[in-house]
Structure 1
Amino acid sequence: MTVIRGLLALRKASAGAESSAARLRLFGASVSGFVSTTDPLPLSHRLCGWFDLLLAQPIPQAVTGVRSFSGASSAAAQDVRWRENPQDVKLCPKDVVLYQYEACPFCNKVKAFLDYYKIPYKVVEVNPISKKEIKWSDYKKVPILKVDGKQMVNSSAIIDELFQQMHPSNLAEDEEESKWCRWVDNHLVHVLSPNIYRTPSEALESFNYITSHGNFSFTERLIAKYTGAAAMYMVSKKLKKRHNITDERGALYEAAETWVNALKNRPYCGGVKPNLADLSVFGVLRPVRNLKSGKDMVENTRIGEWYDRMEKAVGDSARVLS
């Protein structure tokens, strides 16, 4: 099969399957065709199911998810803004539920924000094959955040809206912060996949983490681990070419050093306290920190000290265990 109509058709077909094993047989049969497809559409448009957690989250045209900025903001206002303790600005919704994949970098962006601002939230781990946990939503990607029944989608848009609710009278916008938030979505995340699936052993390590933390049955976990690792090893080569990456580790190290240089010898991009750019970088790196790629990054760049500071600043998870 030279051209695949997309895993979307697979998901539709698998929805009628009577067992996890049947769904996985359908899924597994599509993998070899997927990696050789000549479909010109972007990968993010052709992928569905658990591939959503591995690739860059598409940003809706109608929602940029990054706050626009104004040159009218004063240095004093910006300094006060980031000298606040996270506990000093309260957002107190009664019920916050995050629909996620545990290993998804964009879901981890949202969690880093919620954890830092100590906003209690529940987690619903979405099965990336059936997606039965989000059948109720017209939006079929993660993260989805429900705040007192209101659905919010797209990690940057979620963070932006929550922050604006917490700071309704603060109109100061920060050009530097906005720039680096965009850099996370448009560059950093694209460097990660070619690194975590760089070799067959690294791909298997990554999928061991993904399937161990994800919402899989035993059969799904076993098949997804090996089938997924093989598929994503092949896909990572396409991503590498697409984003003009010749040296995976070199690109990762360069991105890490670019971020450290952006700090300008400050503890955080936000100064004495993390800002949304700090939280975004920290969030997308957190799932890979203990993988080989993440360990190599810390050992071969200067990002480790900032990362350790961020771990302490973000603190314990605000997740509510049900």
Structure 2
Amino acid sequence: MFQFQTCPFCCKVRATLDYYGISYDIVEVNSVFKTQIKWSNYRKVPILMCDGQINDSSVIISLIESYLHDTSQPLDLLKSFYPGLESKDNRGKTVWEFQNKYFIMFQDHISDKRTSKERRTWGEALQAFRYFSEVGEWEKNFSTPERLFIIYVGALVMFGISKMLKKRHNLKPDVRESLYDAAREWKRAIVYGVLNSIEGCQAFKDMLENTKIGPWYYRTKKAVQNHQGANPLNKKS
């Protein structure tokens, strides 16, 4: 059971929990005085309590996705992948930054298979650096030998890093499929959550009248309310 410290505008995490059918208790936090979280040195919502404190909506969503991908991973281990860094801004106000908050963490999976998709990745890495050269006008800033060195060495490094990250995060053979999967889940959880928080406002009604997002929104709302993401591991098999 999770305990979720939230305010009326923290709908991204709530939508994620509802979609996956995860039980939780809500503690509504006064958004002005925040007396409900005075015990915490982290003074923002949402906060999710489960075997300790989990801060930041993006961290919470990424951690949930990581855990649901492989429930054998201990939550304490997953939480260690999202360390919070506390600092002061130029006005002396405390600010927090969380490493890896937009990333889902997978167990390492080592594979020596080489496919045409990996060879395509090299071509794409090279194309990316040629694009960087074009938009950055490198021909105006570097000599031809320097520009070519940066393009080919940079592409080689990018290619090597991409293979390492693919193994580390257990991505699909075609990494685009992993990207598409992540985009679909984030669209459901984040876009829907933001819109759900303003459903009763005039801005929401105006949006329905002036865009075609209404059918998608209500389909997603039905999916969330019916917990259609419950037991996602069983659905993958």
* TM-score, L = length of structure 2: 0.49
Hey, which of these two has a bigger chunk of strand by percent?
2
**Larger RCO of the pair (alpha carbons < 8 Å, separation 6+):** 2
* TM-score, L = length of structure 1: 0.36
